[in-house]
């Protein structure tokens, strides 16, 4: 029987499978364990089931000599030093494919919310400020005929493109292997949706220069990773009215403090990393993470390895 540290409560049946075969130490509460607690709990573990907020770096791995496997409860693995894990022969697994539709749904929900001012409109009603119907009041953006630019047309980007087609949008894209150059893409888009992984090459891909290429009416949506957007540059662009609006499901840091300067910007919608937040998706993610650990701790290849 191995010892497994799970860095957050998982209210899904999959965890019972893990507990039936191994000793499971689960971090209590809703927030991530502080770095010192993460290191202390992992130091005694044979397996680690981590979340995207848990930094699994070389120092953590050095402090965990018994560690044999890491299962990340996410598609992305930018929170894990994959080179350090590989150097130690540690298999790393993730949860690919399962959250494609859930994240695409959220991305398009954010596009709709921005385009039609849904959140600000609802706040107006709740504040008692809805006085009358005005012909020129609260005007939004038509999506039919608008151009949607997808940056990173992988599985999620492709799913967003299918949804956009149903709304009569023209879809263009940029990726590592095809599509328009990013500069050209940004200049012609009415809506930009980000779906690229966070790597050294994509960190602050959307910086002040990229924002300056966008139309003054352009809407920016990020459901990928917070570090892809330079948030200081985004705040400045919103404050100066140089783009039409932005919606973020991901930020840097996460959680974003309530007094963060970015939240003072107008025409900004921020939601708390809801991309995979459906019951079915999160339950399947738990199953995949547990399957990865059970296999690796039994000496078998992970069914969902990071390659």
Domain ranges of the chain: 3-97+279-297, 100-270
Q: What pLDDT, in 10s, does the model give residues 245-255? A: 999 999 999 98
The β-bridge relationship of strands 268-270 and 23-26 is: unpaired
Is 23:41 a contact under the CB 8 Å cutoff? Answer: no
> 20-34, 50-64, 127-141: lowest mean pLDDT where?
127-141
Rounded Cα distance between 106 and 111, Å, is 9
Active site residues: 225, 254, 273
Query: Can you tell me the mean pLDDT for 52-74?
Result: 96
CATH of domain 100-270: 3.40.50.720
94-139 pLDDT tens trace? 999 999 999 999 999 999 999 999 999 999 999 999 988 888 888 8
Distance separating alpha carbons of residues 111 and 246, to the nearest angstrom: 9
Inform me whether the pLDDT recorded for 244 exceeds 80: yes
Are the C-beta atoms of residues 159 and 118 closer than 8 Å to each other? Answer: no
CB hemisphere CA count around 62 (13 angstroms): 3
Query: Residue 307's pLDDT band (boundaries 50, 70, 90)?
Result: confident
Q: In what order do the strands lie in the sheet with 170-174?
A: 170-174, 147-151, 191-194, 219-222, 245-248, 268-270
Strands across the sheet containing 3-6: 23-26, 3-6, 47-50, 69-72, 92-93
Mean pLDDT of the chain: 95
pLDDT score, position 131: 83
Q: For residues 256-273, b (16+ Cβ closer than 10 Å) or e, as one string?
A: beeeeebeebebbbbbeb
Residue 156 has a pLDDT of: 95
Domains 3-97+279-297 and 100-270 agree in fold: yes
H/E stretch holding 59: helix 58-62
pLDDT number for residue 175: 82
* Residue 49 in this model has a pLDDT that exceeds 80: yes
- From the list 149, 145, 303, 119, the residue with the least C-alpha distance to 220 is 149
Looking at the predicted structure, is the pLDDT value of residue 273 above 90? yes
What is residue 178's predicted lDDT score, i.e. its pLDDT? 82
pLDDT over threshold 80, residue 176:
no
Task: List the CATH code of the domain at 3-97+279-297.
Answer: 3.40.50.720
- The reported pLDDT for the residue numbered 7 is 97
CA dist., res. 221 & res. 10, Å (int): 29
- pLDDT-derived band at 270, boundaries 50, 70, 90: very high
pLDDT digits 0-9 by tens, 212-233: 999 999 999 999 999 999 999 9
Q: What is the pTM of this model?
A: 0.90
Query: Where is 283: in which H helix or E strand?
Result: helix 279-297
């Amino acid at each position: 029987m191995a010892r497994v540290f799970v860095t957050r409560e998982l209210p899904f049946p999959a965890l019972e499978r893990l507990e039936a075969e191994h000793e499971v130490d689960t971090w209590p509460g809703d927030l991530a364990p502080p770095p010192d607690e993460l290191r202390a709990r992992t130091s005694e573990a044979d397996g680690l089931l981590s979340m995207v907020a848990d930094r699994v770096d070389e120092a953590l791995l050095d402090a965990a000599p018994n560690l044999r496997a890491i299962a990340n409860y996410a598609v992305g693995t930018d929170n894990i030093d994959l080179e350090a894990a590989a150097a130690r022969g540690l298999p790393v697994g993730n949860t690919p494919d399962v959250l494609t539709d859930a994240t695409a749904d959220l991305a398009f929900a954010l596009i709709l919310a921005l385009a039609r001012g849904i959140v600000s409109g609802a706040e107006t009603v709740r504040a008692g400020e809805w006085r009358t119907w005005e012909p020129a009041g609260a005007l939004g953006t038509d999506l039919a005929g608008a151009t949607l630019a997808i940056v990173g047309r992988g599985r999620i980007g492709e799913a967003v493109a299918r949804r956009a087609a149903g709304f009569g949008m023209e879809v263009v894209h940029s990726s590592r292997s095809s599509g328009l150059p990013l500069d050209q893409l940004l200049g012609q888009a009415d809506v930009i949706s980000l779906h690229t992984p966070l790597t050294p090459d994509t960190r602050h891909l959307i910086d002040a220069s990229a924002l300056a290429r966008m139309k003054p009416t352009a809407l920016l949506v990020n459901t990928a990773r917070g570090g892809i957007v330079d948030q200081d540059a985004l705040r400045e662009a919103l404050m100066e009215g140089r783009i039409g609006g932005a919606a973020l499901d991901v930020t840097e840091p996460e959680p974003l403090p309530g007094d963060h300067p970015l939240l003072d910007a107008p025409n900004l919608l921020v939601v708390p990393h809801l991309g995979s937040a459906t019951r079915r998706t999160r339950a399947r993610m738990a199953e995949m993470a547990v399957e990865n650990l059970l296999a690796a701790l039994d000496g078998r290849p992970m069914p969902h390895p990071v390659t």
